[in-house]
Chain A
Amino acid sequence: MDQDTARLTRRHFTLGWILLPTFMLLGLTLETLHGFKVQWYLSVANETRRFLWTLAHAHGVLVGLVNIAFALTLRALGGAGRAASIASTLVVCGSLLLPAGFLLGGIVVYGGDPGLFILLSPVGGALLIGGTTIAAAHVIRSLKVQDA
């Protein structure tokens, strides 16, 4: 494994293992809010907040797993290359922006509309799609090369 690949692998393991407990902890917090029937979270007026934070929890855990999978894939394939580097940057940015948009967008809500921080989420989602698409293409290409 070259130095770049090792660096990228470390980056995604670190990020993945930070995101996982962080957003699991958020899930536990949400359950606690349910348990104590906190109206700031549960009342009908806060339906939007509840929805957004549930999304933040689910997406945060999911992108944590994506990062770990990304790191494992890099380790399995060995050489990273320029495509993997670009994909890594996109995945890292997307992994931060997507759940952050849901989380921050839920702090101030306007009826059925989230706060303006929600704009981070579609940007993060687009970056993640871009990153994973590049990664997928890179993986398929690498596998074909290995087969050949």
Chain B
Amino acid sequence: MTDPVPALLIAIAAIFAATCIVALRAWFPGRLSRLLILGVVGITAALTLRTTIGASAEMIRGATADYPVRSEDRGYVSSDQCRACHPREYATWHSSYHRTMTQRPSPESVAGLFDVSLSAGDDRLDLTERDGRFLVGMPKPEWWHGPSLDERIERPVELMTGSHHYQVYWVSSGNSRMLAQVPFVFLIRERLWFPRRSVFMVPPDEVLDAEYARWNTNCIMCHTTNGRPRPQLPRTDLAQTEVGEFGIACEACHGPGGRHVQQMSNPLRRYSARLGIATASGIVNPAHLPAERSAQVCGQCHSVHELRRDEFEHWIREGFRFRPGDDLNVTRRVIVGSEARNDAEHFWPDGAVRVTGREYNALLDSPCFKSGKFTCLSCHEPHKQEGDARALGQWRVGLLRPFEEGNEQCQQCHQTKTGDRLVAHTHHASESSGSVCVNCHMPHTVYGLAKMERDHRISSPRVRDELATGRPNACNLCHIERTLDWSGRYLAQWYEQAEPALTADQQQIPASLLWLYRGDAHQRAIAMWAMGWPAARATAGQEWAVPELTRAMDDPYQVLGLVAWRSLRKILGDDALPGSILALPPSQRVQATEAAIGHRDGFDPAAVARLLSQRDNRPVRLSE
């Protein structure tokens, strides 16, 4: 669609000039009139020229930019067009983390503390803010092909990923629009810079690459709207990357809005739709789609999937073909079944999702979804409803409908699970965390961003599932001080499950300690996180967990030190443990932690040593 604004401005300028000329000729005598008319014409022409040149300069700047630029294409018109007619929806989206998933740097959007130097081994990064730009001085990286007189270069931050937990920074590489990642990540709540290795679940001995071009070829898929990598093939290290909009905007879920905007510019059509005489056309509302297609709108990003070959070819050149309302399976292969069971970076051995942001795969495996009515929107709302008394900050964390973590979302269908029947079902007091449906049926076994999230495969707790897969059971996530045997016996007594055969350790040692000392990195993360989880602390007490978490500070997976550190701070208070401890190598962290909070005796050291000798040291790499 051609932008009508310049033509309108020129028309207004012409009308203004004509009016001035008529007035001047009527009011002033000959020579003075001619001079004034000349002045008016000159000023009008200068202003018109400036507007035109300004627009052209903007176009030229966009064409020569060495970072991804916004460009509307294939019917995408951007959220700017939606605001006038949908102010509430626009405002709630604008305050969501979806919008700020990818941002251009500005004093408002940059969360990180600049004007600091950071050390990564022998390398030093100098972060400075100068003239409104955020600059990163670094040793000359491999991807740098430009001129440099010394061994260091300085590159500007051009994009940032994240605005809630972490913020990741991307600098222009100088090679077309390819970006490179700054090797430090900013933890927003803690206000700390962390090496990239320390915030992602990667094996300790794995060498991380420079993350050159990762944004252009990977992050762009889901952290922008209508992103097009546009590599300059056959070269794969250069690209003219474009996006419709940075962040996840209106058209990511509603589809391209150009046709809708055009049609709804007609007030008669608009009022027909408003008054229910006709339906709004040219746009998709996921809430009005069949459950499966509605969930697929979220699933286009919130899933583990592979693009089908022709879709991949199309995407890198022109963007995705998938549009909200389409069948996702036509263009993508969502990973399920045996393929999922063999993909340890994303799934537990039984195919349950183990990394955050992949809820669609979990949903597909849920009996609720299979019933045909259940969809993401049964529990979540991407736009906060009018009359919802919650603060925006509370709503936007999980985009939950106003149930919070009560049981209302489940009681929409499971209407009998209330009052005495709820207690009879859960065998827990109605107000306790044991009677919160999601605590048992959506346990925190999904890892992401150095914390645990709820599993979206709605299931029932079983100890035998844990024995088969290693995925901790829901009972022991709250009752972290209890054994697997204890949980197995209650599940057998209450729900007629067969009592599992357990080893002596499983009968005698709290399940959380087995995960913590003997488990793989993911199980250890779950144990550390659960020890700081308020529901578990209220159920199992918290002081006993302090020495165990202190011991965990030296975990060779650096990110697990962060998980343990966070749980310790939840128990002891934010001031008890400084962030500087995390800057130390893992081997020095336990000593530093004990220096800060004092030594406390924990679980039998001999038993700990024995469990550690049995630790599952298989490398765990989780692709968040």
Contacts and interface: CB of A to CB of B under 8 A. Distances in A.
Contacts of A111: 85-89, 274
Nearest to B86: A111
A84 B86 CA distance: 44
Interface string B70-114: 000000000000011111111110000000000000000000000
B471 interface: no
Interface residues of A, number: 10
Contact of B88 (A45, A113, A116): A45
17 contacts: A43-B88, A43-B386, A44-B88, A44-B90, A44-B91, A45-B87, A45-B91, A45-B386, A47-B87, A110-B271, A110-B274, A111-B85, A111-B86, A112-B83, A112-B87, A113-B85, A116-B271
A48 interface: yes
A108 B538 CA distance: 48
Interface in A41-72: 43-45, 47-48
Nearest to B94: A44
Contacts of B270: 113
Nearest to A110: B274
Interface of A: 43-45, 47-48, 110-113, 116
B271 A112 contact: no
A48 B267 CA distance: 15
Contacts of B90: 44
B386 A112 contact: no
Contact of B85 (A44, A45, A112, A116): A112
A57 B92 CA distance: 28
A110 B271 CA distance: 9
Interface of B: 83-92, 267, 270-271, 274-275, 386
Contacts of B83: 112
Contact of B271 (A44, A48, A113): A113
A126 B605 CA distance: 89
A55 B194 CA distance: 52
A113 B85 CA distance: 6
Contact of A48 (B87, B91, B275, B386): B87
A44 B87 contact: yes
Nearest to B87: A47
Contacts of A45: 87-88, 91, 386
Contacts of B91: 44-45
Give the one of A43, A45, A110 with max B CB within 10 A.
A45
Nearest to B88: A45
B274 A113 contact: yes
A6 B534 CA distance: 81
Given A44-B90, A113-B85, 9 more contacts: A43-B88, A44-B87, A45-B87, A47-B87, A110-B271, A111-B85, A111-B274, A112-B84, A112-B85
Contacts of A43: 88, 386
Contacts of A112: 83-87
Contacts of A44: 87-88, 90-92
A48 B386 CA distance: 15
B60 to A, nearest CB: 34
Nearest to B84: A112
A116 B270 CA distance: 12
Contacts of A113: 85, 267, 270-271, 274
A48 B83 CA distance: 11
For B86, B88, B92, B270, the residue with the greatest tally of chain A CB atoms inside 10 Å of its CB is B88
A73 B251 CA distance: 56
B437 to A, nearest CB: 31
Nearest to B95: A44
Contacts of A48: 87
Nearest to A51: B87
A86 B54 CA distance: 49
Q: State the 4 A-B residue pairs at the shortest beta-carbon distance, nearest first.
A: A45-B88, A44-B91, A112-B85, A110-B274
A13 B83 CA distance: 42
A113 B275 CA distance: 11
Nearest to B264: A113
A134 B88 CA distance: 43
Contacts of B89: 111
B273 to A, nearest CB: 9
A29 B261 CA distance: 35
Best-surrounded residue of A44, A47, A116 (most CB of chain B within 10 A): A44
A104 to B, nearest CB: 15
A113 B89 CA distance: 14
Contacts of A116: 271
A46 to B, nearest CB: 8
A12 to B, nearest CB: 29
**Which residue, B83, B267, B274, has most C-beta atoms of chain A within 10 A?**
B274
A44 B384 CA distance: 11
A111 B85 CA distance: 6
A141 B84 CA distance: 44
A47 B85 CA distance: 10
A45 B387 CA distance: 10
A113 B271 CA distance: 8
A110 B275 CA distance: 9
A116 B274 CA distance: 10
A110 B90 CA distance: 14
A47 B88 CA distance: 8
Nearest to A112: B85
Nearest to B270: A113
A112 B85 CA distance: 4
A48 B84 CA distance: 9
A48 B87 CA distance: 8
B270 to A, nearest CB: 6
A136 to B, nearest CB: 15
A45 B85 CA distance: 10
A108 to B, nearest CB: 10
A63 B413 CA distance: 57
Contacts of B88: 43-45, 47, 111
A112 B92 CA distance: 14
B261 to A, nearest CB: 12
Nearest to B385: A45
Contacts of A47: 87-88
A112 B275 CA distance: 14
B391 to A, nearest CB: 13
B276 to A, nearest CB: 10
Nearest to A40: B386
A26 B147 CA distance: 66
Nearest to B83: A112
Contacts of B92: 44
A39 to B, nearest CB: 9
B387 to A, nearest CB: 9
A134 B86 CA distance: 40
B90 to A, nearest CB: 8
Nearest to B89: A111
